[in-house]
Each structure stands twice: as C-alpha cells, then as structure tokens.
Amino acid sequence: MPTSVLTPNDPDSLSEAVLEFPDNRLLIDLCGEYDRNLAAIEQKMGVHILRRGNQLSVHGGSEAVAECETVLRGLYERLEEGRDVETGDIDREIRMGPADSVTADHGARDGDQLEMFRGGRVEIKTRKKRVEPRTEAQQAYVQNLFQNELAFGIGPAGTGKTYLAVAAGVSMFIDGAVDRIILSRPAVEAGEKLGYLPGDMKDKVDPYMQPLYDALNDFLPAKQVAKLIEEKRIEIAPLAFMRGRTLANAFVVLDEAQNATSMQMKMFLTRLGEGSRMVITGDRSQVDLPRGVSSGLHDAERLLKQIPKISFNYFTSKDVVRHPLVAAIIEAYEEEEARG
C-alpha cells in the first residue's frame, strides 16, 4: 500500500500530497508508458504530478489533490490485485470514487458471473475480458440486467447500454444460465435511403446488425462467434424476424428500440419465454421512424413502468464513456432542444 503526506490547507488553496509506493514495478505500470496515465489523470483532475523515485508528488487545489490521491491509491491497489490499468480504468476510478466494502453477490441465479468485487464494484466476466461499469448509472444498470427478467436501458449514444447488455448475455451464456443469445434491432435507415443492397438476405441485413457483431467480438474469440452463429446458439437478426417465435432459455437484446413501432414493440416483448432474460435499449433523441409513427419505446416506457420485475435505467451525457467530445456534442444538442 502506498503511504502519503498531505499538506493541509483550505479547499481553494494550493496543496501537495506525496505518495510513496513500495513496489517500483507496479509504480511503473501505474504511470504508464511515457507517463501517459499520469498525464491523463492530470488533464482530467486539474492537478500536476511529479515522479521522484518511488514517490509521486501531487500539486493543486486541496480538494483536487485529495481526490487525486484517492484515485492513485485505487489504481495501485488494482495493480496489486494483478489487474491492468488502462484508460477506461482511470476514467472509472475518477468517476466512481472509492468503494465501500468487500462483498460478493452472484445475482438472482446460482453461478451467475456477476460479482461484487473489492469495494462493492461490479464486474462481468467474458471469454476475452472483464467488463466493469464506469459510472454509477452503468453499475445500477448491470445489476438490474442480472436481477430482472426484463430490463430497459434508455439514454444517449456512447453510454454503454448495448455493450453492457451484450457482455451480460455472453457472461450468462458462458455460465450456462441461458442456452442462446439473440440480438436484434429494427432495420431502419438513419436518415438516408440506401436503396436495394446487393447479396442474399444475410448480406442485406448485416450492415444494420454490425454494432452487435462488434460487441460480440469484444467478448468472444472470432472463431467461437462464427461457430456459435453457425450452430444458431447466437442469433443476430432484424426485429421483423422475431414474429411468431417464443424465445425460451435465451438472453435477448433489442437494440435501437426507439425505432420499433408500437406494434413491433408489443410483438417483441411478448416473445419472452421461460428461463429467458430480455433487454431493451434505446435513445429517445434518435428516432428514425417516419413522421407521424409513434415510437414503441415511448409507449413501453409509459405502459410498463409500474410492473414489478421490469427495470428502467436512464443515462445522461455524464455517463458517456466514448471520446470526451461525444459527451460535449450530446450536451450541445440537448441545450438546443431545451431552448425550443
């Protein structure tokens, strides 16, 4: 564990904290190649960090220095546990802050791969990586994915709604809690007409489904994804292909649900079968339906909110985990809409 000495001052005055790290190899990993991790922390937290031997000296306002000290300690503890520190981990540590306790919660089913790790942190295990929520809203969403048979994730682009849902599905599939993963989205063009696409049916619909393929390939080896798709244990299909089916013992995700009509949404929701989990994700600000056609996501939100065991999680621009500019862009558009 690192030790530190903090120069006390009022929150607005300049302060310094000196942290000493006992393992120099872990300190090198903490700093990152060419100190890029320190540079990222400096930029995000408004502090200046100097490295001297096995010490880090943090300079800045008292409050910022104290917060930075907490972040550095958290990242170092992560390295002590044998885990890596990447850009996303830094972002998460800054956003989430220190954890409260060490608990273990395997969710609603025995063997679920949802775990509460050190400090009450949620982590999802997949074949290729461990996925950790980066914001409080994401953490609450992941918990609901495992605790409820029907969950809604609603918010702007880049907040991890679909990514986390697919990660949860892969985790449950690996653990044997479900037999299949079914990923779907409406085949609606985003504001432009593409005309007739060449190829067979798969060639025609794959461009609409590509974000779902991308998420799967983040969690499973490409060869395994291809094999599971061939065996129909993973299905990626347009919403229209769901009609008439009963989806039992499956983890089902409907992405871009704001582009489902009311009838399509009702049809999809009533596909839920025994032993299945269903997740509906969407962004109310990106409806691509023809003028005058109401969004099924809006109707579902209005009609289903009072039903027990159906969860609704909401995200804002503060939960965006893509490039920082994405959050700024979303905020700019939201401000414009608010002005009318």
> Using CA atoms, how far apart are residues 134 and 136, in angstroms rounded to an integer?
7
pLDDT of residue 228: 94
pLDDT at 84: 82
The two three-digit tokens of residue 179, written as one number: 């037999």
CATH of span 3-96: 3.30.1370.10
Model pLDDT for residues 15-44, shown as the tens digit of each residue = 898 999 989 899 999 999 889 999 989 988
Residue given tokens 């009509």 in the structure block: 261
Beta strands in the chain (DSSP E): 3-6, 14-20, 48-52, 55-61, 114-117, 121-125, 130-131, 150-154, 180-185, 234-238, 250-254, 277-282, 310-314
Kindly state which CATH superfamily the domain 124-338 is placed in.
P-loop containing nucleotide triphosphate hydrolases (3.40.50.300)
List 252's β-bridge partners, or say none.
182, 278
Q: Which residues of the chain have pLDDT under 50?
A: 6-9, 100-119, 190-195
Nearest-angstrom CA–CA distance, 85 and 90: 7
Number of neighbours of residue 15 by Cβ within 10 angstroms: 21
Task: Report the pLDDT value the prediction gives residue 202, as an integer from 0 to 100.
Answer: 60
Contacts of 304 (CB under 8 A, 6+ apart): 150, 152, 310
Domains 3-96 and 124-338 share a fold: no
Domain residue extents for the chain? 3-96, 124-338
pLDDT at 219 (0 to 100): 94
The pLDDT, as a whole number, for residue 321 is: 78
